[in-house]
């Protein structure tokens, strides 16, 4: 279906105040209503275009609530109604073309609206990816191309975590398309190129942004996929635990390392020294040298160290035991009860390695 009539009226739906976006959104979530009613009144692509132009316009002044609602409404139109597959009336262009133009204009523009444009790209791409819409590839490529942007590169990298993270809108309960193969597709489209960039880039800014971006994908992969790609993923996780000023990245890397250890113990053994060093760096939290990790991250790091005693050969661990036991003594004095409790269990696990020898 190609686009049709002008949307002067529909564009007025999205000012900064005066309309209930949840009410509008509910119309498209409720599958008991006749979907054809939407198509009879106006072209879906034109509604989506109005939203996209409002979200990326420098003249827009939406409240945060209104913007979030438009994001969700746009996602429903892309995912459920295939708005990105349609062309705008009188042209051979679609929503991807509008998004690309908006990104080109925002790339060198230091403004709040420019940042909103990159956020719009992430929400658009998430809806497309969930349905494996044909627009997925160009949208992901657009995100990849902007991780090196000197102004917005880090924010673009962080937005990759929106692509697979649980959504209150893109759900089967809302009758959205949630394709089982979307995670594998994203790993091929984005994670592999990002890992390659991280390994080869000589630009430290691009290198770290690629790391942040790929962590945002790996954090939501299924266990089987983690196991199949463990040789590539584990080095990323180890480096990701050192990322500064990004709580999500640190915790995600530690959590995935915890999950992947029993799935790929042989690969973990190859990186054993680095695994122990990175985890002890996380748990070291003294008055003179406070940890840069959250309580949750320190607790998970201790779980990783304990998990090693269950899945790695004892003779390899015994060589590391004396130094690690001293580090665990520091963890036993952590300000957090949860961390101290995990440290006690971890120390007992390592102490019992003698019996397993």
pLDDT tens figures, 77-96: 999 999 999 998 878 899 99
- Give, in order, the Cα–Cα distances in Å from 287 to each of 244, 293, 330: 20, 14, 11
pLDDT of 35 reads 52
Instruction: Indicate whether 37 pLDDT > 60.
Output: no
pLDDT of 90 reads 75
Confidence of residue 42 (pLDDT cuts 50, 70, 90): low
Confidence of residue 111 (pLDDT cuts 50, 70, 90): confident
The secondary structure of residue 191, as a DSSP letter, is I
**185 in a domain, yes or no?**
no
**296 in a domain, yes or no?**
no
For 142, the token pair is: 């657009």
Compute the average pLDDT of residues 300-328.
95
| Residues of the chain above pLDDT 90, percent | 74
Instruction: Indicate whether 8 pLDDT > 60.
Output: no
Confidence of residue 62 (pLDDT cuts 50, 70, 90): confident
Instruction: Indicate whether 76 pLDDT > 80.
Output: yes
Confidence of residue 324 (pLDDT cuts 50, 70, 90): very high
Q: What confidence tens digit (pLDDT) does each residue in 229-280 have?
A: 999 999 999 999 999 889 999 999 999 999 999 999 999 999 999 999 999 9
Instruction: Identify the three-state secondary structure at position 277.
Output: helix
* Contact by Cβ (8 Å): 122, 164: no
The secondary structure of residue 241, as a DSSP letter, is T
* Contact by Cβ (8 Å): 169, 72: yes
| Residues of the chain above pLDDT 70, percent | 87
For 62, the token pair is: 């939406």
Instruction: Indicate whether 306 pLDDT > 70.
Output: yes
> Which tops the pLDDT comparison, 181 or 17?
181
Instruction: Indicate whether 160 pLDDT > 90.
Output: yes
Instruction: Indicate whether 1 pLDDT > 90.
Output: no
What distance in Å separates the CA atoms of residue 173 and residue 86, rounded to the nearest whole number?
25
**309 in a domain, yes or no?**
no
**73 in a domain, yes or no?**
yes
Compute the average pLDDT of residues 169-181.
94
Instruction: Indicate whether 12 pLDDT > 50.
Output: no
> Which tops the pLDDT comparison, 288 or 177?
177
Instruction: Indicate whether 13 pLDDT > 50.
Output: no
Q: Tokens 């409240």 correspond to what residue?
A: 63
| Residues spanned by the domain of 52 | 1-179
Total domain count, the chain: 1
Backbone angles phi, psi at 147, to 5 degrees: -70, -15
Compute the average pLDDT of residues 181-205.
97
**132 in a domain, yes or no?**
yes
Q: How many Å separate Cα 226 from the centre of its chain? A: 16
**22 in a domain, yes or no?**
yes
Q: What confidence tens digit (pLDDT) does each residue in 212-235 have?
A: 999 999 999 999 999 999 999 999
**30 in a domain, yes or no?**
yes
**200 in a domain, yes or no?**
no
């Amino acid at each position: 279906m190609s686009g049709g009539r002008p949307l002067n009226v529909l564009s007025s739906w999205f000012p900064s105040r005066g309309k209930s976006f949840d009410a509008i959104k509910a119309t498209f979530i409720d599958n008991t209503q006749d979907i054809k009613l939407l198509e009879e009144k106006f072209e879906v692509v034109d509604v989506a275009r109005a939203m996209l132009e409002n979200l990326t316009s420098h003249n827009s002044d939406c409240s945060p609530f209104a913007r979030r609602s438009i994001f969700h409404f746009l996602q429903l139109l892309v995912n459920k109604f295939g708005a990105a597959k349609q062309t705008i009336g009188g042209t051979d262009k679609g929503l991807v073309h509008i998004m690309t133009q908006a990104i080109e204009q925002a790339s060198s523009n230091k403004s709040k609206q420019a940042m909103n444009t990159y956020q719009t790209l992430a929400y658009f791409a998430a809806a497309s990816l969930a349905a494996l819409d044909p627009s997925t590839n160009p949208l992901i490529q657009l995100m990849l191309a902007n991780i090196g942007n000197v102004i917005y590169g880090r924010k673009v990298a962080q937005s990759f975590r929106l692509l697979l993270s649980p959504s209150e809108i893109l759900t089967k309960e809302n009758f959205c398309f949630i394709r089982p193969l979307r995670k594998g597709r994203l790993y091929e489209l984005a994670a592999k190129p990002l890992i390659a960039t991280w390994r080869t880039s000589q630009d430290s800014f691009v290198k770290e942004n690629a790391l942040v971006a790929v962590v945002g994908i790996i954090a939501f992969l299924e266990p089987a996929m983690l196991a199949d790609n463990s040789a590539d993923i584990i080095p990323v996780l180890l480096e990701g635990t050192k990322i500064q000023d990004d709580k999500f990245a640190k915790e995600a890397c530690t959590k995935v390392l915890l999950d992947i250890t029993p799935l790929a113990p042989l690969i973990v053994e190859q990186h054993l020294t680095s695994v122990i060093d990175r985890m002890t760096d996380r748990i070291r939290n003294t008055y003179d040298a406070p940890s840069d990790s959250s309580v949750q991250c320190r607790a998970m790091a201790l779980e990783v160290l304990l998990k090693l005693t269950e899945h790695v050969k004892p003779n390899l661990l015994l060589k590391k035991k004396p130094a690690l036991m001293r580090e665990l003594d520091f963890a036993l004095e952590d300000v957090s009860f949860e961390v101290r409790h995990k440290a006690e269990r971890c120390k007992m696990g390592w102490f019992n390695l003698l019996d397993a020898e």
